[in-house]
Amino acid sequence: MDLQLSGRVAVVTGASKGIGLAVARTLAEEGAHVVAASRTAPDAPDLKVTHVAVDLMDPQAPERVVARAVEEFGGVDILVNNAGGPPPGTTLPRVGFMTPDDADWRAMFEFNLFALVRTVRAAVPVMLERGGGAIVNVSSTMSRQPSALNVDYGAAKAAVTALGKSLSEEYGPRGIRVNTVSPGPVLTDWWTKDGGAAEVIAGMAGSDKDSVISQVAPEMMRLTTGRLVHPQEIADAVALLVSPRSGSTTGAEFVVDGGQLKEM
């Protein structure tokens, strides 16, 4: 299926690895001009994108990224706000409301919400000049699944999901579609790295990292598929949502979670 993305200009944040890298690669393969924003270059030497080295915790970073897209390709048609998760230097999961202090809460919202807000603020005027565009914000099932784990992260992602609805109402009539993709647990560096989520959970469960990834986590999260989600499965959903083929889809939340959320 032709997604009609050839020649369109896409900005993807958090594009160095995991979901962001899969999204950047997929959009590039579909013919889009991709501007990849991340602190480090994408871990893919063959990937044909324009990388902008930025720390999105810097309030000025989003403007620099959008300005680079305008300089290189004349504008922005697509924005994928993927950057998020644990702020630099933070290890998740962490248990309990009392665990994160004020500084932890501020960092979590700065990285997961305010960086996204600033990136949208920078991109929207450029999109409007081109007659519209498509924005996808990457949230999380934790925005809708209350838990004593990662309370601050869940709250920040709930705000991301709510923001997407508001943006779609304001800018949909002006040609900018805004949708949300909410992944469940995705097999990324967050889980697999040394000291990552799998090792933290292994310490809690008296298990080992490989068993957590293959069995403990899927069972704990009641994943119908019995496995963690692959980054490409998120990227495929994002690519469809930013495509003109989804021209009547706005204000929607697409959950890609292996069957984690059971509620109606």
Own/partner contacts of 215-223, CB < 8 Å, gap of 24 or more, are 217/185, 217/191, 218/185, 218/258, 221/184, 221/185, 221/258, 221/260, 222/259, 222/260, 222/262, 223/184, 223/185, 223/257, 223/258, 223/259, 223/260
Mean pLDDT (the chain) is 96
Q: What is the pLDDT of residues 169-179, one digit of tens each?
A: 999 999 999 99
Question: What is the SS3 assignment for 150?
Answer: coil
The tokens 């784990």 sit on which residue?
Answer: 149
Q: Residue 85 above 90 pLDDT?
A: yes
Query: Any idea what DSSP says for residue 87?
Result: P
Q: What is the pLDDT of residues 233-260, one digit of tens each?
A: 999 999 999 999 999 999 999 999 999 9
Position 8 scores a pLDDT of: 98
Q: What is the pLDDT of residues 122-169, one digit of tens each?
A: 999 999 999 999 999 999 999 999 889 999 999 999 999 999 999 999
Percent of the chain with pLDDT over 70: 100
Does the structural domain 9-186+230-256 have CATH classification 3.40.50.261?
A: no
Segments of the chain assigned E as strands? 9-13, 33-38, 50-53, 78-81, 133-138, 176-183, 253-256
What are the structural domain ranges in the chain?
Answer: 9-186+230-256, 187-228
Question: How large is the average pLDDT for residues 36-45?
Answer: 92
- Give which of 216, 124, 226, 227 is closest to 167, Cα–Cα: 124
Distance CA 25, CA 42 (A): 10
Give the global pTM: 0.96
Distance CA 231, CA 235 (A): 6
Position 232 scores a pLDDT of: 98
Active site residues: 153
Q: Measured in whole angstroms, how far is the alpha carbon of residue 224 from the centre of its chain?
A: 22
